[in-house]
Chains A and B, each alone.
Chain A
Amino acid sequence: MLTQLIMRSDTDTLILLQQGDEGVFETVFKQHFNSLHAYACTILKDAVTAEEVVQSLFLKLWEKRAHLAIRTSLKSYLYRATYNDCMNIIKHGQVKQKHQAHMAYTNDSTYEHTANQLHENELKRELQKALNLLPEKCRTVFQLSRFEELKYQEIADELKISIKTVENQMGKALRILRVALADYLPLLVYCLLKIFLGQ
């Protein structure tokens, strides 16, 4: 049913949105809220700020509804806007303190560390940082593939881009991550190999 909604939507949805159709706006909000929130969370690592970002994004969308000029798909518009707003917050350092407090707290609460876990946590932390290196388009495609678990074809449809572009962006995303994590990977691969061999 959801797919149907998406299929029906976009052009129609946009027109209804511009006319200020409350019902359509609510549907759009509920349909995209969680995935945008998840996206903002992976960028900001702070659920509360992430919600603020997405809420005010929709508020702006509602206020500007009459003048919307979305040439891409609605989804890719929303993702782009979320990305930009999050980046603005990071630039202004508003989230830094909270983020650090959150990290400190998370670190405190995990009390049993094996060497492997420690390394895995380190890799996760570095990966978190490296994700923020991805350019916007690349990151959106990665997000849809990884966290929303969409197939290439679905991503292409949702963002109104070609499947070839999806392939290229995914390749680019993992290439950037691999380069950024170069220092952390060999050891882990060694650990994995040991596990494989052990079995």
Chain B
Amino acid sequence: MSDELLIKFLLREASPEEDQYVNKWLEEDQANRKKFEQFRTIWDTSKQLSIENPIDEDLAWKRFELLREQKGVRHIDSGRTKRSNLNWLKVAATVVISIGILGAIYLLAISPKHTYFGTIEVVSKNIPLTDTLPDGTVITLNKYAKIAYREEFFSKKRKVKMSGEVFFDVSKDATRPFEVTANDIEVKVLGTSFNIKSNKNETEVILETGAVQVSRKDIVIKLKPDEKAIARAEETGIIQKQQSDRLYDYYRSKVFKLDNTPLWRFVEVLNEVYPNRIVIEDSGIASLPLNTTFENESLTNILHTVCDMLQVRTEKHGKTITIKR
């Protein structure tokens, strides 16, 4: 029995006569069956080595066009250096005049909108703040967040450094990648929307639409919508997880949408939003699920509704609110 025929049989490529022949051979001896099982195990296991998430061809093509463009520019540059038999005086004059004209254009037209030679800073105090960057990207800063935005003229990149929590709705521009740095995490995008929250202990990136690449030193991962990446300061590496709720975007939407959300998670978010300290006294009620939506309501109203829904009550001592049975 040749291996070729056995594999053909395994892949259902054999003719009926060949099938019969192999079947007979398998019945003859246990050793034959064992060999066949080994082939089958290899075949079945190897299937699991394929990658599950294919890349979107159109996105890949856009990235390719970008790459090709960059390459093309470099070609023209190297071509230019070759023809150097020009009258130097002419060159010098042209350079001086060009600089003058470019300077005038920059001062009059570009500088109010662009930041090629400077950095734009946006800082929020004790309330969230929404602003639009020169490239059209809309940013929403949660309380006490800060970003510094700059466009690199020569490398054609849009770069942001940030701290605190910021939501980005990046305007599409395949020719100028958008890069965000938070702690030691770098996020690269072409056009998409995502949330980054950073403090000294951890950095968290949640993707809403599109695709982003998150890197930390030499580890690189790609996020899909509704996935998040977490990098903790005391650990190396990046943790990739599903984002199960939309509560994180409260500071932007002013809506709490609870969809089977456990009480403890809602309390965690309320504690981030309001200055009060809310604690759950009884761990038995901490995982009770909530299904409702609060739009722009006061904390008192929210807690009132929660109490009604879960048959619990609250007690207030100064800034601390205790939820109990």
Asked if B38 and A189 make an inter-chain contact with CB atoms under 8 angstroms apart, the answer reads yes
Tell me which residues across on chain B come within 8 A of A162, comparing CB atoms: none
Asked if B34 and A189 make an inter-chain contact with CB atoms under 8 angstroms apart, the answer reads yes
Residue ranges of A at the interface with B (Cβ–Cβ < 8 Å): 26, 29-30, 33-34, 37-38, 41-42, 47-48, 51, 54-56, 58-59, 62-63, 97-98, 101-102, 104-105, 108-109, 120, 123-124, 127-128, 131, 145-147, 151-152, 167-168, 170-172, 174-175, 177-178, 181, 185, 188-189, 192-193
Does more than half of chain B's interface fall in helix, strand or loop, or is it mixed? Answer: helix
Tell me which residues across on chain A come within 8 A of B125, comparing CB atoms: none
Tell me which residues across on chain B come within 8 A of A168, comparing CB atoms: 4
B68 in contact (CB, < 8 A): yes
Residue ranges of B at the interface with A (Cβ–Cβ < 8 Å): 2-4, 6-8, 11, 13, 34, 37-39, 41-43, 45-51, 54-55, 57-58, 60-61, 63-64, 67-68, 71, 213, 218-220, 222, 237-240
Asked if B220 and A124 make an inter-chain contact with CB atoms under 8 angstroms apart, the answer reads no
Asked if B42 and A97 make an inter-chain contact with CB atoms under 8 angstroms apart, the answer reads no
Find the B residue at minimum CB distance from A41.
B51
Tell me which residues across on chain B come within 8 A of A174, comparing CB atoms: 3, 7, 39, 42-43
Asked if A177 and B42 make an inter-chain contact with CB atoms under 8 angstroms apart, the answer reads yes
| Listed A/B pairs (28) with beta-carbon separation below 8 Å | A29-B57, A30-B60, A37-B55, A38-B51, A41-B51, A42-B51, A47-B55, A48-B222, A55-B60, A59-B64, A59-B67, A59-B68, A62-B68, A101-B237, A109-B239, A123-B41, A131-B49, A145-B11, A146-B47, A146-B50, A152-B11, A167-B7, A167-B13, A174-B7, A174-B42, A177-B46, A189-B38, A192-B37
Asked if B219 and A33 make an inter-chain contact with CB atoms under 8 angstroms apart, the answer reads no
Asked if B219 and A34 make an inter-chain contact with CB atoms under 8 angstroms apart, the answer reads no
Tell me which residues across on chain A come within 8 A of B218, comparing CB atoms: 97-98, 101
